Amino acid sequence: MAKVRGKRIKAAQETAAGATSAALEVSGGSEWVGVGRSGIHQNGLFAKKDIPKGTKMIEYVGDKIIKAESERRGNEQDELGRPKGDGTVYVFTLNNRYDIDGAVEWNEARNANHSCAPNAATDILKGRIWLIAERKIKKGEEITYDYGFDLNYWRDHPCRCGSKKCVGYIVGEEYRAELKKKVKAWEKKEAKEAAKKKETAKKEETAKKEEVPQAE
């Protein structure tokens, strides 16, 4: 199960507007971002207005659960999504004891998609998970962050972020060099197997044609 880990960023800048939107943020919504249809995958999170760098755009809210429960729920979510080819897991690592299960309707932040060239990052501030603007974001832009997945099960998570930096699969930035090597080796193996299959089929076809018809 690939758990959303999200890259931590350095000191997030408090903005005046961020401070006034506390009521909305606690409810899982935000004055900065809203849900819309994404070109990356189904729903996404989009800027409602221009957003300054460092803004705490939205809190990732949900049930605070211990690790054992988190493992159970994460696996359950993974299993549920698998038949659709979509292992969506909403469990987010909070600290050594607790995680946040964001699979609740009011958690709008759960809609943020991954990108290999993201404009946001997650950070944990005073025990709360925030999605923070890593640069100035224009109104209408999709909000994305690096899910930070490790190299386990990389083939289960194809990436459609469309960025020039995309490596084809959802893994954290620190794993991408290693992943490129794995993808290359895998593609080579696949090509070899496909060529072998083609060769066998060709041989079988030739053998069939050369078969002498039996006299009745």
Judged by the rule CB under 6 A, the positions of this chain that interact with ligand SAM are 38, 40-44, 86-88, 90, 110-111, 113-115, 159-161, 170
Min separation Cβ 39 and Zn ion, Å: 12
User: Binding partner of residue 179 among ligand SAM, Zn ion, none, CB under 5 to 8 Å per kind?
Assistant: none
Min separation Cβ 178 and Zn ion, Å: 16
Min separation Cβ 64 and Zn ion, Å: 30
- Of 89 and 159, the one with the shorter C-beta distance to Zn ion is 159
Beta strands in 61-164 (DSSP E): 63-66, 91-93, 98-101, 113-114, 120-125, 128-133, 142-145
Per rule CB under 5 A, is residue 116 in the interface with Zn ion? Answer: yes
| 41 SS3 class | coil
* Binding test (CB under 5 A) with Zn ion, winner from 137, 159, 171, 179: 159
Assigned token pair, 61: 């809210």
User: Binding partner of residue 160 among Zn ion, ligand SAM, none, CB under 5 to 8 Å per kind?
Assistant: ligand SAM
Residues 43/37, Cβ–Cβ less than 8 Å = yes
What is the residue whose two structure tokens read 């971002």?
33
Task: Let me know if 171 is exposed, middle or buried by CB neighbors in 10 A (0-12, 13-18, 19+).
Answer: buried
Sites of contact with Zn ion (CB under 5 A): 116, 159, 161, 166
